Amino acid sequence: MRLLATPASKWTWGKEAWAALGSMAALAAITGCAGPIGTLRAEPPGPPPVTAFDGSYRNTLRQSNASSAAAQQAQSWCQTPGQPVITVANGQFTYAVPHPDIPGTPSPVFQATFAQDGSFVGQVINGTMSGHVNGSRITGKIDGQGCIYTFEGNRI
What's the fold here for domain 55-155?
Answer: Porin (2.40.160)
- Domain positions in the chain: 3-32, 55-155
pLDDT at 106: 83
The bridge status of strand 148-155 relative to strand 55-63 is: antiparallel
Question: What percent of the chain clears pLDDT 90, i.e. is strictly above it?
Answer: 42
* Alpha-carbon span 85 to 96, nearest angstrom: 10
Q: Identify residue 115 by its one-letter amino acid code.
A: A
Overall pTM surpassing 0.75 (yes/no): no
Q: What percent of the chain has pLDDT over 70?
A: 69
End-to-end Cα separation, the chain, in angstroms: 82
Distance CA 88, CA 93 (A): 5
Q: How many CA atoms lie within 13 A of 7 on its CB side?
A: 0
How confident is the model over 97-137, as pLDDT tens digits? 988 887 887 888 999 999 999 999 998 888 999 999 999 99
